[in-house]
Amino acid sequence: MGIDAVLQFLENESNGAEDAAALRARLNEIIETLGFDFFTLIRQPGPESDADDVVLAGQWPKGWPELYVKRKYAVIDPIVRYLGHSQRGYRWREPLQAFQDDPHRKRMERMMVDARRHGLEDGYVFPIHGRRGLVGVLTVAGREIDLTPAQMAMMDALAKKVFWELLEALDPSAHERISRPVGVQMTRREMETLEYLGYGMTSNEMGATLGLSAHTVDWYMNGIQEKLHAKNRHHVVAIAFRLGLIA
């Protein structure tokens, strides 16, 4: 495995000289060197985001994205749903085990069969968190490859470094917004909840996105309201916007 390519990328200091095309080419080369056939690096989407805004780099097997959308796998995808449970990278088999008793288990299994038919035999997901919670995800997939804990840690570092560098090259304003220091002390979950509230999402919608119950979301909202001294959720959004917590 070409883990040395990852180390070389991590050791190089960014001076802002590389453009998006060069960064994408380097990431693609690293993923190929590691032995994976496919990958995607995405920004955490909002309800009104389109694919061009979300995908920073990557390539999936031909026909897989279309089938994924057609069969509405995003609603039950255990690999995506598990993002709400993990701070570090994980292998695809982990969420499959975690959702063993899920009522959508049969659809999950069908999704994985379809994925294997497209060459997606196995993969790993590396969540990227900022001061406002989950901001992006690096997914690598293809043939079965075993990563050691040390290699997983290096991949986590790679995901973070390339995400922030590529985002700065593609969208400096978004980079500045989501990396801006937060004056009010909030937990990661509170910042994620606040971000989705700014999109106008209900507790049920936020819960489905974050992998939480609506009751738990309401509990986070109560904590946010207290910290911002807000009268209601509309007031929360207004104060958060003024403080630069959301934009």
Domain architecture of the chain: domains with CATH: 3-177 (3.30.450.80), 183-243 (1.10.10.10)
What pLDDT, on the 0 to 100 scale, is given for residue 17?
61
pLDDT at residue number 38: 97
- Look up the pTM and report it: 0.76
Model confidence over 31-87: pLDDT tens digits? 999 999 999 999 876 544 455 578 899 999 999 999 999 999 988 999 998 987 788
- DSSP string for 108-147: HHHHHHHHHHTT--EEEEEEEEETTEEEEEEEEEES--PP
CB 37 within 8 A of CB 141: yes
Sign of CA dihedral 90, 68, 193, 222: negative
Count of beta carbons in the 10 Å neighbourhood of residue 130: 21
The pLDDT tens digits of the residues spanning 124-158 come to 999 998 766 788 999 999 999 999 999 999 999 99
**169, 200 contact by CB (below 8 A):** no
pLDDT score of 108 more than 50: yes
Distance of CA 136 to the CA centre of its chain: 4
